[in-house]
Amino acid sequence: MRNAERRLGRETDPEVGKLLADAVGELQLAVYELRELARGVHPAVLTDEGLAAALESLVSRTPFPIVLDVDEERLPEQVEATAYFVVCEALTNMAKHAHASKATICAHRRDGVVTVEIEDDGVGGAFAKDGSGLRGLADRVDALGGRLTIDSPPSGGTRIVAEMPCAS
């Protein structure tokens, strides 16, 4: 795909260029996800360095700009893993469905609760239906005693917030 982009050069119809760029982004995300799955679900950087480093690594591979605001402190393993997968699923949905041009990811611990918030400027319309990745995440967050909320009005972007108890 990158070769096609280079061969077509600047003379390319803008719509074709955007289609190629979107396809490259989706392929990059798919390859990254396959690599993470092949490593045994938890990426090594999450286990070794924590959530902040894992999210920095993840964001560096996304096809759109993302502002990242994450506390550096280590969290309990299950909380870090759940927070990481919430972000992964949100970014996957953005790449596949949202047509977003940018996003913000925040993760902070305050008063014994870790809050992870992912917001994009895409088309909206996301919800946690049975069998979906978001439903699975909601169940995973709930299993830790937390909650996942999704605010995604049609044509209004998407905001996903996971709140999980976490001892201070």
91-116 pLDDT, tens digit per residue, is 888 888 888 889 999 999 999 999 99
- Residue 107: φ, ψ to 5°: -145, 120
- Residue 143: φ, ψ to 5°: -65, -25
CATH class of 39-165: alpha beta
Tell me the C-alpha distance between 52 and 71, whole Å: 7
Domain ranges of the chain: 39-165
Residue that wins the pLDDT comparison between 157 and 11: 157
